[in-house]
Chain A
Amino acid sequence: MASVAISVNGNTVQVEAEPETPLLWVLREHLKLTGTKFGCGEGLCGACTIHLDGVAVRSCKTPIAKAQGKKITTIEGLSANGDHPLQKAFIAEQVPQCGYCQSGQIMQAAALLTKNKHPKREQIVAHMNGNICRCGTYQRIVRAIQRAAKEA
């Protein structure tokens, strides 16, 4: 088995995994960063969304080989104390229900706000449309993103 060095939330870590192993499983099961969720394994639901060099990607379709040399950020590393404007806004708007998709939603939204500080509603919807929320919190997700944009 190969030994691969990756940078996760500012730390360089060594993991024993084949280069084609999806980053999702390396994060969750090897590194115990379980905030990133498994939903579909095919890049269809967005539950596993993380950042590679600040860009939102589906970790279930990202082999660790592709993450080498890049900065990986997970929900655990999004902010120092869970106080990213989006995290505060998701609490203020009481967004999560079961909560399973929410890490992915927040990571997807965070990438949007990085490149577009004040997205219009249609831009939010277009950017977030790959992230499924089965509990149906979409309306509150939009409100929380708008709130975060305003309060950031």
Chain B
Amino acid sequence: MNKRSNPGILETTVSRREFLAGMGGLTFTIALGGGLLGRASGALAAEPAARLSAWVTIGTDDIVTMTVPAAEMGQGTLTSLALILAEELDADWSKVKAVFAPPNPKVYGNPHPLLNGGQASLASIAIAGYYKPLRINGAQARRVLLDAVAARWEVPVGELTTDSNKVVHAKSGLRIAYGEIAKFATVPAELPKIGESDLKKPAQFRLIGRQDIGRIDVPSKVNGSAVFGIDVQVPGMVYASVLESPMEGAKAENVNAADAMKVPGVTRVIPLPFGVAVLGTTVEATRAGRAVLKAKVTWNTTGVDAAKFDSEKARQEYDRDGRDPNAKPLEWFKKGDGAAALGRATKVLEGTYASEHCYHAQMEPMNCVAKVAADGQSAEIWTGTQFGALAAGVASGILKTTPDKIRVHSQLLGGGYGRRIAPDIIAQAVVIANVSKQTVKLILTREDDMAAARPRPMTHHIIKAGLDAGGNLIGWHHRIVAENVDAIAAPPRFKASGGKDLIGWRGLELPHYSIPNALAEGVREIRGMRVQPFRGIGAGHNKFAVESFLDEVAQAKGVDPLALRLELTKDDARANAVIRAAAEMSDWKRKRKGRGLGIAFSEYHDTLAAGVAEVSLDRKTGKIRVHNYWVAVDPGLVVQPENVHAQLEGGSVFGLSVALIEELTFKNGAVVQSNFHDYPVLRMSDMPQIHTRIVASNAPPTGMGEIGVMPVAPAIANAVFQLTGKRLRHLPMSPQRVKKALA
């Protein structure tokens, strides 16, 4: 096992048993998801075998260890969730460590309605979901310390206060460190009841909202000591590579195992349903063996529906299906009567929009270390995953055992963006380990990572808007045509919702615009595409259509696009404020020679943002250049301001990349591209100056991972329209498409 020490944090390879037994301190627990408040176990530190896991552990060395229930993939929750716990505990931040919780939704589940007690790191809901329960747990832990000191000093607990890892008795001037208290305090069987009024008011916060608190994982990420899944080494392991099947159900033929076995170090070639595994004593051997196979392999796709998929053709078919009078759309968002309003409108506008499949391109190629016990009834997994609980479930399914027999050692993720939700590669590693009876470190080549893409879906949009005689926007009708992500990523939920795509349709709803009649609906394509959540979720592509079309409405009404958005949000103070902020930051009214400005607004799980892009265009090449991008965000109460700015910048860059460059195409069901030469992502030379601003509000805290993505693409498209009078309707807005639109 990898036992390197990381300055300050991340004892991710220490087992829970070692961890609890070794601390000799106090452990506080709380069960989330079900009965939220007040349920807890006794002194776990003395009972390492207890099933409940700890959130807060105070060592006799005064170190406070926070168990963080979410994965760390760059979004910063390893810090921000620990910070929330530390706030109510009144911990000394310099003595706080954070460790990853094991997958155990009963203890660590996120009560946010989207997960409803499930434990996964997705959809920017960690802060929103865990904020209150973590504060309550921190406050309970603090109260236990106070009670213990009150009993020992024989003073009323009301006379005690806390200050940065110390309990203080002002009257006598006595102070005692938390680490000292941990030596004598016991955790009551039932933790103290904590209500809303026992929690700090925002004005009392000492940690939440501090500008100067950085991320605790950052130091380990500049000296090479941070441990990602791909960095794990386990004694006795062998390496594996999988030549990935290009689509579900394709079978490898012409598997040239004999030649692959001639590569020094290659020990086995195993054809499996998901591809062909090459095992060996070194990574380089498995990569060379895989290359030998790749040269000759063919894929039998008889009877595989996905093999009929061709991006070029599908675009036409999606449009046809969306306009089919017999189409059976499912309703997603309804306000008033959108259809009737369009019927009585004096002017009806229509716009079509489209977006291509996109590849996550997380910098750490998919990988997993798996070790299956000799009896095949339990396993250990080392990997970076957004959904450890699902990984345990899938692994236990493969081994025909139960999830509690799967130990998941969570590592840092070298990018997630939704790709590390699906447990496909974890399942592959477990299968290979089980079949080979060896501990296996599976690392995909970049080429296989791309062949096994779980992309953002291709989408097609038909939107109509109705204006009355006075030019008022009275009706809205948005129809999306796409493969449904929820059908593949979350089949039980998809079934329960009656076939609504909670992921792919997100963002079609218009909760902040005062359009009296609106209908948004989806038409399902079933093409066998392995679509999955992608940074920005559905809103990442849907807001491009919504916000571009809103500009068309403004144009038809003859009003400024900013003025229309301000008018539509005039009764929605938060939305109105971020739009005004972005306009002000960009000096919206000032004309720039040879440049266009475009604005867009988006919301995602109650985080609001508005962006303004300033662009120019090389008409010869069709290349759009974004010079400046101003973006304002309201994430409710701000837990970590510096990270809010960082996420907003990063999300904007991701948004720029998918807006301008990224296009994963399929031919005969297989991904055409293979590496960063033919699937480029945004590089430094294409960066605009990004200007971020936080617009304060009193709303509860919400997430920052996705929101940066959404406003970028429509803001650019709207800016190009202002500059050229031509509307770009198709993502990505590649030079080729721009030239076509200008022609």
Residue positions of A touching B, CB distance < 8 A: 1, 17-18, 21-22, 25, 28-30, 32-42, 44-45, 47, 74-76, 78, 82, 86-87, 90-91, 94-103, 106, 125-126, 128-142
Contact = CB atoms under 8 A, between A and B. Distances in A.
Contact of B264 (A18, A126, A135): A18
A134 B170 CA distance: 51
B676 A44 contact: yes
B40 interface: no
B186 interface: no
18 contacts: A21-B282, A25-B284, A35-B223, A38-B365, A39-B364, A41-B447, A76-B224, A82-B219, A82-B223, A91-B214, A94-B218, A97-B74, A97-B75, A99-B217, A100-B364, A137-B650, A139-B687, A141-B684
A131 to B, nearest CB: 8
Nearest to B647: A97
B418 interface: no
B649 A42 contact: no
B87 to A, nearest CB: 20
B363 A132 contact: yes
A40 B646 CA distance: 25
A61 to B, nearest CB: 13
A37 B364 contact: yes
Contact of A125 (B217, B221, B677, B685): B685
B283 A76 contact: no
Given A126-B685, A135-B74, A137-B649, 8 more contacts: A21-B282, A21-B284, A75-B224, A91-B218, A91-B222, A95-B218, A99-B226, A134-B362
B687 A100 contact: no
B375 to A, nearest CB: 29
B653 A41 contact: no
A34 to B, nearest CB: 4
B219 A25 contact: no
Given A35-B223, A42-B675, A99-B412, A136 B649 contact: yes
Given A35-B223, A103-B224, A136-B654, A29 B282 contact: yes
Contacts of B651: 136
Interface of B: 7, 73-76, 214-215, 217-228, 230-231, 233, 239, 264, 282-284, 287, 361-365, 412-417, 443, 445-447, 642-643, 646-647, 649-654, 657, 675-677, 681-685, 687, 689-690
B264 A1 contact: yes
Nearest to A75: B224
A42 B74 contact: no
Given A38-B365, A136-B653, A137-B646, A96 B224 contact: no
Contacts of A40: 446, 675-676
A134 B415 contact: yes
B222 A45 contact: no
Contacts of B361: 134
Interface centre among B222, B227, B642, B676 (most CB of A within 10 A): B222
A94 B215 contact: yes
Contact of B363 (A34, A36, A98, A138): A98
Interface centre among B74, B219, B228 (most CB of A within 10 A): B74
A44 B679 CA distance: 11
B446 A41 contact: yes
A138 B689 CA distance: 10
B687 to A, nearest CB: 5
Contact of A42 (B231, B413, B446, B683): B446
A120 B508 CA distance: 44
A1 to B, nearest CB: 7
A136 B652 contact: yes
B681 A134 contact: yes
B646 A129 contact: no
Given A22-B284, A37-B364, A100-B364, A106 B222 contact: yes
Contacts of B222: 82, 86-87, 90-91, 95-96, 102, 106
Contacts of A135: 74, 415, 650, 653-654
A37 B413 CA distance: 13
A100 B650 CA distance: 14
Interface centre among B287, B646, B687 (most CB of A within 10 A): B646
Contacts of B217: 96, 99
Contacts of B417: 134
A134 to B, nearest CB: 5
Contacts of B239: 29
Top 7 A-B pairs, shortest CB-CB distance: A35-B224, A136-B653, A100-B414, A99-B221, A98-B74, A97-B74, A82-B223
A40 to B, nearest CB: 4
Contacts of A32: 233
A17 B280 CA distance: 14
A41 B406 CA distance: 32
A91 B283 CA distance: 32
A87 B683 CA distance: 21
Contacts of B677: 42, 44
B660 to A, nearest CB: 13
Nearest to B652: A136
